[in-house]
Amino acid sequence: MKKLVLFAVILNFLSYKIIYAQELIGFTEELPGLIELDGDQLKGPVIEKVRKIFKKAKLKENLKVYPWARSYEMAKREKNYFVFPMAKNSEREKYFNFVGVLFNVKTYLYQKTENIIKIKTLEEAKKYSICVVRNDIRDQYLTEKNFPNLIRFSDQNEAIHALIAKKCDFAICAENIEFIWKKNVKENLNYLVKKSFHVKEINGDRYLSISKQTDPEIIKKLATAMKEINK
């Protein structure tokens, strides 16, 4: 009996060591004001929070910056990969566990300041062309709702500049796009682009998500750590 107990203790210890030794690869993107790349170093309040969660969970992380669509496709097929921030929908829940909310952001339809397109519902926007970020939550939502005129780009910055270049009538972006203008563009884009319609249909919660192939014990550790930090 003592040998069985000792064997169980050793097995649990080894399992813990194996889990802790694994490095989890995290994909994110630059979101000025929240996630920023300073040389080769990631910084910002969201980065600090994610690292705090992993430290609390006693897990190792390796954070990388990639375009959103590439990150999503890579992470959904492999274990020990996580993506943040990510919005939740039924399609993504097939591939990811959503550990917890990191922050909340509103979504808007933007148009050129000189334009006077007025809509009262999102449905009315179907007759206009809309610049979107390929495979992000807004692209997926509008595609599900059968919006016919979606023009896809690799990130929000490209989508907004396409709007300015008159390649579409609207660009659908998270409100934090305005931080990008302030950081990366010398010209004040507030004179060129304006908020046109608040898209309340798209939930603003942004999560830390991890691929479903990952060891459930790792996912549990992260969820517990995040709950403790959010208290």
| pLDDT score of 69 more than 70 | yes
This prediction has a pTM of 0.75
The stretch 3-15 carries a mean pLDDT of 43
Q: Which band of pLDDT confidence, cut at 50, 70 and 90, is reported for residue 144?
A: very high
| pLDDT score of 164 more than 80 | yes
Question: Which pair of tokens denotes residue 78?
Answer: 């492999």
Please tell me the least confidently modeled range out of 14-23, 39-48, 65-74, 92-101: 14-23
The phi, psi pair for 214, rounded to 5°, reads -70, 150
Alpha-carbon torsion (199, 95, 40, 227), positive or negative: positive
Residue 6 has a pLDDT of 42
Residue 33 has a pLDDT of 78
Q: Which band of pLDDT confidence, cut at 50, 70 and 90, is reported for residue 200?
A: very high
Q: Which band of pLDDT confidence, cut at 50, 70 and 90, is reported for residue 8?
A: very low
The stretch 32-53 carries a mean pLDDT of 91
| pLDDT score of 213 more than 70 | yes
Q: Which band of pLDDT confidence, cut at 50, 70 and 90, is reported for residue 226?
A: very high
Question: Tens digit of pLDDT for each residue in 55-68?
Answer: 999 999 999 998 88
Which domains are assigned to the chain? 2-102+207-229 (3.40.190.10), 107-198 (3.40.190.10)
Q: Which band of pLDDT confidence, cut at 50, 70 and 90, is reported for residue 211?
A: very high
